[in-house]
Amino acid sequence: MDSKLQDLIQEQIGHEYYSSYLYLQMASYFESVNLDGFAQWMKVQVREEREHGDKMYEFLQDRGVRVILRAIPQPPSDFSSPLDVFEKTYEHERKVTSLINAIADQADKVNDRPTKVFIQWFITEQVEEEKNDTRIIELLKKIKPDSGAIFQLDHQLGKRE
């Protein structure tokens, strides 16, 4: 397996685990402001991101590559509102998309077919991630202060499993 491609995937494992850590921090923020539905939504994200990192780990192991885990930086913990959280989530997911695309580009460059097939799942997943974030951002922008609609959205988001 191409060494640059291995390195990109090794780094991405750390980015996926960081995403999990970031979303857990966001869940903590939501719990601190009594928006348990938003917190539940984020906790589902926490599990998904961890699973993404695990998939990449297993892929490298299956290809005979020894995984060397990287340090995970501390995520930010200051958020001003649910809208702020989801705008930061969207920004983060766009960064992840660019990193996933870099893996796909390198797999194309070195014609690594197993990685090309493997990474396609993540490319499709990133489309869904960004769509979910933009949908919630647009809903949050429509909510007028003191309308009570935030609690309806909180209830709806809390149904995510």
Question: Given this model, what pLDDT does residue 147 score?
Answer: 85
Give the tokens for residue 101. Answer: 């695309």
Average confidence score pLDDT of the chain = 97
Domain boundaries, the chain: 3-157
Question: CATH classification of 3-157 is 3.40.50.1820, yes or no?
Answer: no
Give the tokens for residue 153. Answer: 């959205």
Give the residue from 123, 51, 49, 53 showing the smallest Cα distance to 89: 49
Question: Given this model, what pLDDT does residue 42 score?
Answer: 98
Considering the entire predicted model, what is its pTM? Answer: 0.94
Tallying the residues shown for the chain, one arrives at 161
- Rounded Cα–Cα distance for residues 16 and 26 (Å): 15
113-142 vs 82-109: helix crossing angle, rounded to 10: 160
To 10 degrees, the CA torsion angle through 85, 90, 91, 93? 120
Judge whether residue 73 has pLDDT over 80. Answer: yes
**CB atoms < 10 A from the CB of 115, how many?**
24
Question: Given this model, what pLDDT does residue 19 score?
Answer: 98
CA distances from 57 to 6, 11, 47, 64, 90 (A): 11, 11, 15, 11, 24
Task: Provide mean pLDDT across the span 75-101.
Answer: 98
